[in-house]
Amino acid sequence: MYWNANVLANELGRTGEAVHLADKAVALFGEGTDERNLARLHGTYGTLILRDNPARAEESLQLMRKAHEALLTVGSTVDIAYNETEMSRALSLLGDTAGSRSMTAITT
What CATH class is the domain 33-107? mainly alpha
DSSP the chain: -HHHHHHHHHHTT-HHHHHHHHHHHHHHHTTSS-HHHHHHHHHHHHHHHHHH-GGGHHHHHHHHHHHHHHHHHH--HHHHHHHHHHHHHHHHHTT-HHHHHHHHHHH-
Among residues of the chain, what percentage have pLDDT more than 70? Answer: 94
Domain extent listing, the chain: 33-107
* pLDDT tens, position by position, 23-47: 888 888 777 778 998 999 999 999 9
- pTM over 0.85? The answer is no
